[in-house]
Structures are given as C-alpha cells and as structure tokens.
Amino acid sequence: MLVAHATWHGGALCLWAERTGPYEPSADVHPFATCDFGGTSYEPLVRTAFRVELTMSLPTIGDHPLPSAELGPEPVSDEPELRPWRVPALVLEPFPAMALLQGAEHSADVVPGTDLRFLCMLADEADHLTSRGHVLPALLREDGDLVARWRPVIDDPARFRALARAMPAACRAADGGRPAAEVLREALSALVDTAVRGVVPHPLLVSRRKELDRLPLAERWVTALTGPSAAVAREPRDDPGDLIAELDAWAAAARRPSGPLRVCFRLAEPGAEEFGTEESGTGESGESEESKDDSWRVEFALQGTDDPSLYVPAAMVWDGEATSIRDAEETLLTGLGRALRLFPEMAPALDGPAPHELALDTAGAFRFLRQAAPMLAAAGFGVLLPQWAGKAKLGMKLTTRDEDPEASAGAAAPSGFDLKAMVGFRWDLAIGDESIDEAELEELARLKTPLVRLRGRWVELDERQLEAALDFLRHPRRGRMSAAEAIRAIVHAGDEVLPLTEVDAGGPLGDLLSGEADRRLTPMHTPDELDAELRPYQERGLAWLTFMNDLGLGALLADDMGLGKTISVLSLLVHERENGARPDPTLAILPMSLVGNWQREAARFTPKLRVYVHHGTGRHRGEELAEAVASADLVLTTYGTAARDAEALAPIEWGRIVCDEAQALKNSGTRQARAVRSIPARTRIALTGTPVENHLTELWSIMEFANPGLLGPRAAFRQRFAVPIEREGDEQAALALKRATQPFILRRLKTDKSIISDLPEKQEIKVYCNLTTEQASLYRATVDDMLQQIAEADDKQRRGLVLATMAKLKQVCNHPAQLLKDGSRLPGRSGKLERLEEICAEVLGQGEKALVFTQYAEFGSMLQPYLAARLERPVLWLHGGTSKQARDDLVQHFQNDAEPAIFLLSLKAAGTGLTLTAANHVVHVDRWWNPAVEDQATDRAFRIGQTRNVQVRKFICVGTMEERVDEMIERKKALAESIVGTGEDWLTELSVAELRDVLRLSPEAVSD
C-alpha cells in the first residue's frame, strides 16, 4: 500500500510516498519513504519529474517516523517528537503537478495523505478563483530576472487565514519548516498561474515570436503571460519600475469591493453592425476564399457585473446617453487603461478623446480571439464573441460501409454479423458537417490566414491544425478493417488539434455507432413464455439487448431506477431460449438485497427458467457446482460470493455475466471489481440507474467490465476525458466521450413522458423542524467541544473529529436519547419526532402507507416500538441485521396487506433493491447528504407499479448544520455528485472557519 505525500518547497510541488513493511533503523533516513510510483496511476504524471532529497521535520516515535493515519494508527505510549528525516522526493513541473493534484483523490491504487489532500483542495481553490476571474497579471522580479505571473485576488482575508490554519504541518515540513501563510501564498499563486495558463492559449503567430526582442517591454510581458515560459526577455533600455508599480496598484484596487459595472469587449465580424446582430456566417454556399470585407471591430462597452444583460456601448457613454449610470465615463476610461496592458494592440483606439472601438484586420481578429479575449476574461473583464467562435473546427470524419450488402438490409440481423466482419472505411477532413477536399485545404494553407470564410461560415484555423491536416492527407485514408477495429478507431481517434468530429457508418455497425439503435430497431414483441406484458420502451430495450448480444458486445443498460431493468434481462433469457434453444447459462451478480427480488421476479414472470442461487455456506463447490450450473439457465450470486469464488466460477462456460447495481464496480482497483472482471463470458451486461455517482472514472470502470479495453487504460481515460470534462468543462472532450460510449449505453428516464406516460408525479417537500431547548443545549455543547478539540488537534485527528461531531449533531437533531444512549423517555424532547408522529398519523388516517428512512439502526430500534404504541398500528422495521427470509416476509406483508401501514427502514440496508410501491409517502428523518443515495431510497416507492402521486418529505432542523448543508447542496445541485461524494467525508475538508459557520446554531432553531 502506497500513501502519497506532498510538500510545497522551492516554489514547486514535491511528491513522495510512504509504504508499509519491515525496515532497517537509520539515524536520519526515513525507513518507509519512497518516490517510486511505477505501475500506479501516478506514473504518467511523474515521468518528467526530477528526484531530490528533502529534509523533513516529522513526528517521530523511537527509531522511526510515526506512520500516517492512512496506514493505520500505531499505539504510542510517549508523546511523539519532531525530528529531521531525509526523504527522497520528486519535483513536478507545473502542469503535471496540477494534473496530479486534480486527480490524486480519485486514484484506485495510491492513497493520498492528509498533506496531499490539502494541496488537492488548494488546486481546486485555484481553479475556482480562475473560473471566477479573481486573478490578475503581474510583473515580478525573481532572482534578478523579470517574470510574468498570474496571481490570485484574495478578496476574502478570512478565507485565506482559515486556509492557512487548516494547512497540515507536513505541507511545509521541508528544511525546518516555514510559516503556513507564506507557504500558502506561494503555493496558491503558483497553482493559479498554472490554472490560468491552462485555459489561456500560447502565442500562435511565429512571426511575432521571432521579433520578440524588438517589442516593447509591455508586449514582451503579455507574451510571457501566455507562453510556456514565464520569463520576460530583457533589453538594456528596459525600465520595468513603472509597469510593476501600475500592476501592483491594479492588484491593490482589485482587493477593494468591485463596483456594479465592468468594461466589456465585443468582437464584431464584418457585416455585424449593432449589438444583438446575429453573429454567424451569412455568405453564399460554396464560398471558399477569404472575404474581401476585412473590417473586424472590437467594440468597447460597460457591462453589469451581476447582470451581464446590462450592456452600454462606449459610444452611448460619450454621447451622454448613459446619464443614469454613475461615473460611467471614469469607469470606462479606468477599465480601458487597465485592459491596455493585456491588449496592447488597443493603443491606437485610445488616442482619441472618446474611444469606442478598435478596427482590426483578419489576423488581428484571430489574435484577439485566441490571445487577448481569454486573458481579458481571466482578468475579470467582460468578453462577447461571435456564436461560431470555437465551434466550427477542422476535424476528421470516418465513413464505413459493410462489405456484405445483404447484412446492411436489417439492423440486428441474424446474418451472423460479428466484430470480425470486414468493413470498408474512408477518412475525410471536415469543418463542421462539411467535408473539404485536398485542393481546398491546400488553398487554405496557401492563404496562411487564420480566419477564413468557408462555405458561408467563419472558421478558425491555426498553424498546428493546418500542419496536422496536411500530414493527415499524406497517410492512407481508404481500406478495409474489421468492425472491432472500426469501433476502437472511433473510440481512440483524434486529438485536441485534429479531433474526430463525425462518423458515418452503414449496416448493423452504423446502427450501433449511431447511438440510436433503440430507435432504429423494430421493437420486439413480448416473448410468449414471459408471463407479463412488456411496455413499448421495454420491448425496444429487449431489441437493443438482443442486438448487442448478436454483435457479441457488452451493454450498459442504464435505465432510470424503477423502469424494470430486471424484467428486461429476464425477457432476453426467455427470448434466446425460444424454439428449444439451449444457450450457455447467465451468471447474475447482485447485491445481497436483490437476490430475493430476482428470485421472485423470475418465478413470477419466467417460471420455466431454471434458477440456481449460489450463495451461503451450503452452496455447491467443485463438481457439484458444475452440475448445478449445467442444469440452470440463470445463476444468482452476490458480489461478495463472486469475489470469494472467482476461481471456481471462472472455468465455467458462461453465456453472459450480468451485474445489477453495477455501481458496485465503480472503484476499479478493489478486490471485488477485479474478481468480477476476471470471470470470462461471451458477453456482459451492466445494470445501473446511476452509471456516474461521483466521477467519470466510475463510468470507465463499469465499461471496463462490459467491454474490456474499449476505453483504453484508466490513466489515459482520465487524461483524455475525465480531467478535461470535470475540471475544465471541455465540450469537445464531452462530445468525444459521448460518441465513444453512447453505442454501448441505453438510458431512459422515468420522468420522460415519451418513455412512460402513466407513472405519477413525485413531489418533494422539505419539512423544517425546530429543536427543543434540551436539543439546543446539547447541540451547542457538542459544537463548542469539537471546535476546541480541533484547535488543539493535529492533522491526523482532525478528520475523525469532524466526522464524529457530524454524527453527534445528527443524533442531537434526531433525539437527545439517541446521543445520550441512556434509555430515557422519547415524547416531548424532539421536534423531529413530534413532526414524524403527526405525518405518520395523517398518512394512516388517509388509509395510506409510508416508508420512513433513517441512516441509524439504533434510532430505528428506538422509533419502532414507540411509533407502534403511539399510532396503535404495527410498525414494520427492516435493518442490516434482518435475515433474508424475514426481509422477504416484511416486503411481502407490506405490499400485500390492504391495511394502512408504516415501514421503518435503515437507509443502508434498504436504500436499494426493494419494490415497495404500496407506499405513496416517503420520509427521510435524517439526511445522508448525497442526492443520489436519497433518490435511490425514494425510488423504492417511485417506480413502475406505483399508481399514485408520491410525496417525499425530507426533515431538516432549522438553524442548524442540517439546513446549511442542504443549502450548500442546492446551490451546487448540478455538480452534486462530484462535490458531495458518498456520505459526509466531503465535510471534513472544510476549514475551521467554514465548519464554524456550518455548525453554528441560529436563534430561530429553538422552538418557543
């Protein structure tokens, strides 16, 4: 096991690792330290790093450093002391360092230590500052040289102090250590500089780079802001003092509260007259040369900081038409003066008394698009670009045609089409959806114009693209390859310079690669041997599964929870056994909670299927297992059993393997995921309603099960797709990933009325409860105690303290007796309990049923007898200790008993795998703070078979952390899966100041 550590030293990220094992005592060499990351996901990112030896001051016990908490606590009798240890480390270049920090916490084979996790959080902070434009350019003196840097605008000193206090000592432990604030400022500045350079493109015009030494200092500085090197070329005549002072003044002004307006720049193409004009190409089709009208303009304006729709052109300001805007002329002039440093070409426009626009030629417009616009936006100015900017790019188009004309006549034709079938292919160059020929490309290259008008639209072309395209034309672009090779080519083809933009395929391969196979295929009818009537979308799903099976490809059926993924697979098994066929058996690997559900559905809908359950201490082994499987059509087992019996299951000839709730495979490096992938089968099907819960690498892991090797190595997938999409919002990468995975994924949502029109509505209600005086007193005491302990704790203890406190505060909000564990009375002491009683009584009074979820089994055990006595009705209780038989009996009783009822459930034990549509009310007494987990639990009732509207109530104690965490989730709902994670772990990364704010008790929390 490797635990990765990082420190910020010498202006760079220094990485090392700690491992377990025997050691040789040494006076000063760290016995567990290494910088060898070979064979791990970190390896591609550290290849260019160089090795150094650091002297780290680390807590020491006896003859060795105290192990990290991630390696397990070591019992100690004495107080650890700080001692210097020599540690081998890797010094990373800025961009690899940023990439590692953005992905370290998602690695399956290396565990990040507390110090590395803090720096990962700091990289996120740098990204956040960059995305909001809270950065400014600077000219600095470093070791006697001039360098151009981007530095953060820290407009929240309290946030900076909180970050400094939260910094683990190991982040600054090299060479005796430095003050946390100093290291924080240095690290955050370096990470911000890297983050900005990652989104602001490098200079593109070679001619300007060659003449760099002739440019004024300000222009050389701007060039260095975007180049691979921050060094500013020096000339004897240079006097950088004025520029440095002006930039420092800009930074000082930026720390003051910003006003309601900012300067904005709008690029208008030839022919665009006023703001609001449709900014897209309007030339005649077939035009393939540069437009003769070369009059581009950059219009100056004022724009609302909070309301970007407020837009006042500079011409209106100078004409006196902006009298309602206070200090409009001063704001405009001041902003233009500052922008001049980033956009020196603007200087001629500022010579007059009323600057309102800058005229540019085509080359100048391209420079503005690629260089000035990103820098201005990064520095907080408004920038408006034409609609086509960054969209119509030069790329590759792949056309394939099946060489068997008969095969293309049908979609999933039983013509024997498989991945070995040969197809003809042709590669073309295209801009948008328009193919271009070699002559046109050579003409574009001859013009050497970065912006060209091609067939009615403006297109950006830089040197790299043209060179890549010309090189592309020199290679064979026609021929034959197998269907499997075509699929892999589509997945892996293209790059940032010359991406794959279109695929045109015919025949069965075309149906697959279109990503619309479910719409193109003729829906199959419900199999005769299925004792149910499939819905139309389920019949299309069966046709798609059959189609994928005929092609020998794995499939990811990602239908929303409750749409009947189980019966879809059972239908496939029945269909392939029509007319007496006997294909190899299917192995279904399930969570334990779903085994009974699959058994019941198979017995109900497919009674002729032979089912064997491989689970428990009495399960078959050896020859008995082989015999049991040979006489079965469907074998059911659990993930745990499959992991333990992988070697016994592997030699069996499986027709397919089905993984239900396949998010269990999302961590590809776990023993369970590796064991499941090691069992061979002809095809595989993954079933999950949440293919991505937290990160895109989870999708890679599930796809690696369904179609091994299709998406390439995990590290390459992260570099090409996960990091650009999750960190940078890269649309091209997102489209490429969709194109690569869409053919193998079928996803339908139950809220889509075109899929299912008879599913009722779901109404979510937040129920705000007050604390009693006793609860408020316990709450304050718990918070005060935790904050005092954190102030005195070291970094290793902090995480555990935060999690323990969160759990205690949740228990306080539930009921004092849950925290005190004293068996004391329940009534009159909890606002939540009082409200729960009222809601349950109301549900029963209406003759209806409710599911009540809690994440605490001990609280459920307290509630069950209390509610039963108060409501004078039996209250069912399902938790992790409930046996399989008892679990099945409880579900059957709840579903079939006509009497109104309350079903109390443990969230972990019953949040997935159950169908409880007899209930039309769902209550979440305490929150898991993960929307995906809560939705899974809610979907026990909101699924097919539900005929009534479902009311979902989520309890929140007002004025407490429950309300503030809920607000945080709502504010970031679009990114909830990435931000929240699974459970409460994300809260441990908050600073002390943020924790204090989240945990504080508001006056309105206590009931009168």
Q: Which residues contact 848 (CB under 8 A, 6 or more apart)?
A: 900, 919, 920, 921
My answer on whether 781 and 712 are in the same domain is no
Under the banding of pLDDT at 50, 70 and 90, the label for residue 228 is: low
Domain with residue 846: its CATH number is 3.40.50.300
Residues forming beta bridges with residue 13, ordered by sequence position: 8
Give the chain's radius of gyration (CA, Å): 32
Do the bridges between strand 81-91 and strand 12-19 make them parallel or antiparallel, or are there none, so unpaired? antiparallel
Q: Pick 468 or 729 by higher pLDDT.
A: 468
Question: Which of 334-343, 511-520, 697-706 is the least confident region?
Answer: 511-520
- DSSP label of 308: T
User: What residue type is 265 in one-letter code?
Assistant: F
Q: What are the DSSP calls for 281-306, one per residue? A: --SPTT--S--S---EEEEEEEEESS
* 3-class DSSP assignment, residue 976: helix
Q: Pick 884 or 611 by higher pLDDT.
A: 611
My answer on whether 912 and 981 are in the same domain is yes
d(CA 645, CA 672): 11
Q: Which pLDDT does position 282 carry in this prediction?
A: 31
My answer on whether 648 and 769 are in the same domain is no
d(CA 531, CA 510): 34
d(CA 7, CA 683): 47
Q: Residue 853: which of 910, 899, 893 has the closest Cα?
A: 910
Number of domains in the chain: 3
Q: Is the pLDDT of residue 966 over 50?
A: yes
pLDDT in tens, 81-122: 888 899 999 999 888 898 888 888 777 678 888 889 889 888
Q: Which pLDDT does position 450 carry in this prediction?
A: 72
Mean pLDDT of 914-922: 90
d(CA 964, CA 783): 15
Q: Which pLDDT does position 742 carry in this prediction?
A: 79
C-beta of residue 394 within 8 angstroms of C-beta of residue 433 = no
Average pLDDT across the chain, whole number = 80
Under the banding of pLDDT at 50, 70 and 90, the label for residue 300 is: very high
C-beta of residue 232 within 8 angstroms of C-beta of residue 217 = yes
Q: Which pLDDT does position 273 carry in this prediction?
A: 58
Q: Which pLDDT does position 298 carry in this prediction?
A: 94
Residues forming beta bridges with residue 88, ordered by sequence position: 53
* 3-class DSSP assignment, residue 712: coil
Q: Is the pLDDT of residue 419 over 90?
A: no
Measured between alpha carbons, how far is residue 685 from residues 518, 560, 956 in Å?
16, 16, 39
Q: Is the pLDDT of residue 212 over 70?
A: no
My answer on whether 559 and 586 are in the same domain is yes
- DSSP label of 382: E
What residue has token string 């023993």? 671
In the chain, % of residues over pLDDT 90: 20
pLDDT in tens, 720-746: 788 777 766 666 777 778 777 878 888
Residue 432 maps to a domain: no
Q: How far is C-alpha 78 from the geometric centre of its chain's CA atoms?
A: 44
My answer on whether 626 and 766 are in the same domain is no
Please report how many Cα atoms fall inside a 13 Å half-sphere around the Cα of residue 588, on the Cβ side: 27
pLDDT in tens, 12-33: 999 999 887 777 777 788 888 8
My answer on whether 714 and 826 are in the same domain is no
Q: Which residues contact 823 (CB under 8 A, 6 or more apart)?
A: 817
My answer on whether 815 and 742 are in the same domain is no
Q: Which pLDDT does position 485 carry in this prediction?
A: 76
Tokens of 980: 């929240």
My answer on whether 560 and 637 are in the same domain is yes
Q: Which pLDDT does position 611 carry in this prediction?
A: 94
Q: Is the pLDDT of residue 645 over 70?
A: yes
Residue 910 maps to a domain: yes
What value, to the nearest 5°, has the Cα angle with vertex 173 and ends 188 and 979?
45
Last residue of a domain, one of 172, 199, 226: 199
pLDDT in tens, 784-794: 888 777 767 76
Tokens of 537: 């979308």
Residue 68 maps to a domain: yes
Question: Which of 269-283, 364-378, 760-774 is the least confident region?
Answer: 269-283
User: What residue type is 439 in one-letter code?
Assistant: A
Q: Which pLDDT does position 801 carry in this prediction?
A: 81
Q: Which pLDDT does position 626 carry in this prediction?
A: 92
Mean pLDDT of 459-476: 75
Q: Which pLDDT does position 513 carry in this prediction?
A: 66
Residues forming beta bridges with residue 578, ordered by sequence position: none
Last residue of a domain, one of 199, 218, 244: 199
Q: Pick 72 or 355 by higher pLDDT.
A: 355
User: What residue type is 802 in one-letter code?
Assistant: V
My answer on whether 778 and 742 are in the same domain is no
- b/e burial code for range 128-143 (CB count within 10 A of at least 16 → b): ebbeebbbbbbbbeee
Q: Pick 490 or 865 by higher pLDDT.
A: 865
Q: Is the pLDDT of residue 213 over 60?
A: no
* 3-class DSSP assignment, residue 15: strand
Total number of residues shown for the chain: 1008
Q: Which residues contact 722 (CB under 8 A, 6 or more apart)?
A: 103, 106, 695, 696, 697, 700
My answer on whether 810 and 856 are in the same domain is yes
Q: Is the pLDDT of residue 683 over 80?
A: yes
Q: Is the pLDDT of residue 968 over 60?
A: yes
Question: Which of 51-60, 64-73, 183-192, 413-422 is the least confident region?
Answer: 413-422
Q: Residue 171: which of 245, 250, 89 has the closest Cα?
A: 89
d(CA 634, CA 642): 15
Q: Which pLDDT does position 290 carry in this prediction?
A: 40
The winner for highest mean pLDDT among 113-122, 644-653, 879-888, 982-991 is: 644-653
My answer on whether 902 and 961 are in the same domain is yes
pLDDT in tens, 165-190: 778 888 888 877 788 888 998 999 99
> How many helices and strands in the chain, by DSSP H and E?
39, 34
Q: Is the pLDDT of residue 289 over 80?
A: no
Residue 784 maps to a domain: yes
Under the banding of pLDDT at 50, 70 and 90, the label for residue 988 is: low
Q: Which pLDDT does position 646 carry in this prediction?
A: 93
Mean pLDDT of 560-579: 87
Residue 322 maps to a domain: no
Residue 151 maps to a domain: yes
Q: Which pLDDT does position 250 carry in this prediction?
A: 76
C-beta of residue 362 within 8 angstroms of C-beta of residue 290 = yes
List the alpha helices (DSSP H) in 387-455: 438-447
What residue has token string 């020491």? 60
Q: Which residues contact 637 (CB under 8 A, 6 or more apart)?
A: 587, 588, 589, 590, 613, 614, 615, 645, 649
Q: Pick 814 or 287 by higher pLDDT.
A: 814
Last residue of a domain, one of 199, 229, 247: 199
My answer on whether 609 and 741 are in the same domain is yes
Q: Which domain holds residue 728?
A: 517-746
Q: Pick 642 or 253 by higher pLDDT.
A: 642
462 Rama class: left (phi>0) / alpha (psi -120 to 50) / beta:
beta
pLDDT in tens, 473-490: 777 778 888 777 777 777
C-beta of residue 760 within 8 angstroms of C-beta of residue 949 = yes
Q: Which pLDDT does position 280 carry in this prediction?
A: 36
Residue 46 maps to a domain: yes
d(CA 50, CA 14): 10
Q: Residue 963: which of 922, 998, 1003 has the closest Cα?
A: 998
d(CA 927, CA 776): 19
Q: Which pLDDT does position 345 carry in this prediction?
A: 84
pLDDT in tens, 28-49: 888 888 998 888 888 888 888 8
Residue 146 maps to a domain: yes
What value, to the nearest 5°, has the Cα angle with vertex 889 and ends 884 and 890?
100
Under the banding of pLDDT at 50, 70 and 90, the label for residue 267 is: very high
Q: Is 671 exposed, middle or buried (0-12, 13-18, 19+ CB in 10 A)?
A: exposed
Domain with residue 651: its CATH number is 3.40.50.10810
Question: Which of 285-289, 290-294, 694-698, 715-719 is the least confident region?
Answer: 285-289
Q: Residue 664: which of 216, 982, 447 has the closest Cα?
A: 982
In the chain, % of residues over pLDDT 70: 82
